[in-house]
Amino acid sequence: MKRLWWKLTITAILLGTVIAIPLIWNREHKLISLLMRLDTAAITAMFIAILNDLLNIIENWLGKKIKYRKTPVKGVVEIVRIIIFFIGAIVIIAILLDKSPSKLLAGLGAIGAVLSFIFKDTILGFISGIQLSANDMLRVGDWIVVPGTLVNGNVTDISLITVKVQNFDNTIVTIPAYTLVTSSFQNWRGMEESGGRRMTINLNIDMDYVHFCTPDELQNLSRLVQIPARTEHLTNLELYRGYLATYIHRHPGINNTILTMVRYLDPTSTGLPVQIYCFSSYTGWAIYEGIRSQITEHAIAMAPQFGLKIFNWGESS
């Protein structure tokens, strides 16, 4: 804030000088005319600097607001800053050359074509940064994965040219913004906002152990799972599937508002895959893996209770 007040003070002094000079000296004099142009250019430059400080204050203020923390504020502010600097530079040059800004812009057409070729990558990054910010494709804190690159982690900074990502192994990767626009990337934000992270667990059941249950087996398994009214032709695999479905629905770490089921996949040479398909209530990596491991361990341990056996590579070889 102190710097801002100093700039405002200097601007006020320069404005006073512009007003006072014509009252004291003849404005038509070449030296006085040059001095006036320099003074006006300095006022314009100070005005641009003040606007830049105000943008920094606005950016910091919005960054502290909870509802704006996931909004690409920095990218929007940089767009405004570049526009202000560009217009300000044109105005300053026009003042110093004593030309109209519109004529100066017309003369920059040919130069712009050359500059666009030289700074092609920078311009592409600038346009891509605008697209990322305007379309809300990326936010600070998003976990992204970009195929074919080293990017696999949380976005820590988004500028108009580059995107900085902290990978899961705490390495920092900086990637051009236009790479995210010209190629596909995976953003895990939708998973986090949905309140559930998908979980699939496949258990290969040895089909030699699948059989119809006897009355004694049904009575013994009734303490683990609710036996259907239809007691004929009930298999131990069907009861095991029903037990897993009940277990998943009752698990405190599973979000049952999203699709939850236990199903069979196509048989393979390694047995019949029984797939647990559900969504964890917790999206954090460590907690998610803990819940997944717990369910897997329980499912494997309960298989022998139903007379089933998980396929074992060692015994089949």
Residue 309, domain member (yes or no): yes
Residues 176 and 200 in one domain: no
Residue 112 domain-assigned (yes or no): yes
Strand partners, 144: 153, 187
Query: What number is the average pLDDT over the span 168-172?
Result: 89
How many folded domains does the chain comprise?
A: 3
**Alpha carbon 131 to chain centroid, angstroms:** 14
* Boundary-marking domain end, from 187, 208, 241: 187
Supply the range of the domain harboring residue 182: 143-187
Distance of CA 3 to the CA centre of its chain: 34
Long-range Cβ contacts of 64-72 (<8 Å, 24+ apart): 69/140, 69/141, 70/139, 70/140, 70/141, 71/139, 72/132, 72/133, 72/136, 72/138, 72/139, 72/140, 72/158
- Taking residues 47-56, report their average pLDDT: 83
Query: Domain check: are 6 and 89 in the same one?
Result: yes
Q: Are residues 154 and 91 in the same domain?
A: no
Is the residue at 123 inside a domain? Answer: no
Domain stop point among 128, 156, 187: 187
What is the pLDDT confidence band of residue 88, given thresholds at 50, 70 and 90? confident
Question: Residue 81 in contact with residue 59, Cβ under 8 Å?
Answer: no
Contacts of 210 (CB under 8 A, 6+ apart): 235, 236, 237, 272, 308
For the sheet containing 197-205, what is the strand order?
Answer: 197-205, 272-280, 261-264
In a domain, 130, yes or no: no
214 shares its domain with 110: no
Residue 20 sits in the same domain as residue 94: yes
The three-state secondary structure class of 3 is helix
71 occurs within a structural domain: yes
Q: Please, what is the average pLDDT of the chain?
A: 81
Evaluate if residue 26 carries a pLDDT over 90.
Answer: no
Q: In this structure, what CATH number is given to the domain that contains residue 280?
A: 3.30.70.100
In the listed set 118, 134, 151, which residue is the last one of a domain according to the structure?
118
CATH assignment of the domain containing 171: 2.30.30
Three-state secondary structure call for residue 310: strand
82 within some domain: yes
Are 201 and 290 in the same domain? yes
Residues 255 and 283 grouped into a single domain: yes
Residue 69, pLDDT > 50, answer: yes
Model confidence pTM above 0.75: no
Smallest Cα–Cα separation from 236: which of 153, 316, 304? 304
CA atoms within 13 A on the CB side of 286: 1
Same domain, 204 and 304: yes
pLDDT digits over 105-125, tens only? 666 665 666 656 666 666 676
